[in-house]
Amino acid sequence: MTDQAEQLRRKLQDSHAVIPQAKTLAIVSGKGGVGKSNIAINFSLLLAKRSKKVLLIDLDIGMGNIDILLGTNAKYSISHLFEQKVTFFDMIETGPNCLDFIAGGSGLNEIFQLNQQKLTFFIQQLEQAVKTYDYIIFDMGAGVTRDTIEFMKAVDECILVTTPEPTSITDAYSMIKHVLMERETAFHVIVNRTRNAKQGIEVSNRLIGVVKRFLNQSIHPLGSVPDDEAVVNAVIAQEPFVLHQHNSRAAKALESIAKQYLNEPVEPTNRSGFIRRLKRIFTER
Ligand SMILES: Nc1ncnc2c1ncn2[C@@H]1O[C@H](COP(=O)(O)OP(=O)(O)O)[C@@H](O)[C@H]1O
Ligand SMILES: [Mg+2]
């Protein structure tokens, strides 16, 4: 075969090869202030440390603070993208462990109010990112808003963060219920700010129990993170706690959560893919 023919054959083969797709993950909570952003950043850093290509996107409505927690002053936020002045890849900043991130500043409500042209642009950009990364992690706003629920139905998996407080658990259940009643979705649970490991197990068992009993669905416990001053100190120092005090109880707990997450992947509930589901959600709006 001539070199050219060989090259053409290779090209054709490549175009049929399945392009790996990023796993899309939403970090969510019923109640605000439970530690979502801190867990989103530190969990992303731990995946990145294990050589995963990770993009963290701040989608918290009006309260984006990923860049503050990372101690940087992001040049762009997701709203610049909506104005179509920049592409996704212009906006991405790189943090520690080669973690890529896009800062917040505005949120999900804006995406749902975009006109068709801007929306197409946004989805095209996300489509590129899905082909580039191993994981795309969205730090979401708290609470059961229509937009959050719709977005949660599009991602591959949700990681729900709750504290042991009864109000946090009730709000967590209410959020899971809203999503699962509309679409089968993979849910993981992290209990944050526990007194000890036993309390973490009790809280996640309680949540798993009610979801099984009333919704007849399974959710996956990932473990718990203790209430630890190291987290507060890290927030003040504007450094992620797994880097600020990597030997702290909180950092070690999240290490084992990240390890378990990678070692025990859940079966996808729907194989149609994030981008296709997202498009469907936007067109059905
Ligand atoms: N494991 C923890 N131990 C101690 N304090 C924590 C822990 N997790 C979160 N916090 C405190 O809660 C605050 C809110 O966390 P944050 O991640 O911003 O919550 P959310 O994103 O859910 O609003 C942090 O600034 C920190 O002071
Ligand atoms: Mg937050």
Ligand nearest, relative to CA of residue 160: 1
Answer whether residue 268 shows pLDDT above 80: no
Q: In this predicted model, what pLDDT tens digit does every residue of 144-190 receive, in sequence order?
A: 888 889 899 999 999 999 999 999 999 999 999 999 999 999 999 99
249 vs 227: CA distance, rounded Å: 9
Measure CA of the first residue to CA of the last residue in the chain; give whole Å: 53
Check if 42 has its Cβ closer than 6 Å to any atom of ligand 1. no
User: Which atom of ligand 1 has the smallest separation from the CA of 225?
Assistant: 1
Residue 2 belongs to a domain = no
CATH number of the domain within which 276 lies: 3.40.50.300
- pLDDT at residue number 61: 63
Residue 122 belongs to a domain = yes
Residue 14 belongs to a domain = no
Ligand nearest, relative to CA of residue 65: 2
- pTM value is 0.91
46 vs 7: CA distance, rounded Å: 39
- pLDDT at residue number 2: 59
What average pLDDT does range 243-258 have in this prediction?
A: 98
Answer whether residue 213 shows pLDDT above 80: yes
Residue 16 belongs to a domain = no
User: Which atom of ligand 1 has the smallest separation from the CA of 60?
Assistant: 21
What are the backbone dihedrals phi and psi of residue 261, each rounded to the nearest 5 degrees, phi first? -60, -45
Range of the domain at 257: 21-284
83 vs 119: CA distance, rounded Å: 10
Residue 273 belongs to a domain = yes
276 vs 163: CA distance, rounded Å: 33
- pLDDT at residue number 11: 61
Residue 10 belongs to a domain = no
What average pLDDT does range 265-276 have in this prediction?
A: 83
The answer to whether the beta carbons of residues 79 and 122 sit under 8 Å apart is no
Q: In this predicted model, what pLDDT tens digit does every residue of 180-197 receive, in sequence order?
A: 999 999 999 999 999 999
Answer whether residue 106 shows pLDDT above 90: no
User: Which atom of ligand 1 has the smallest separation from the CA of 31?
Assistant: 22
User: Is 210 buried (19+), middle (13-18) or exposed (0-12) by CB count in 10 A?
Assistant: middle
Check if 228 has its Cβ closer than 6 Å to any atom of ligand 1. yes
How many domains is the chain partitioned into structurally? 1
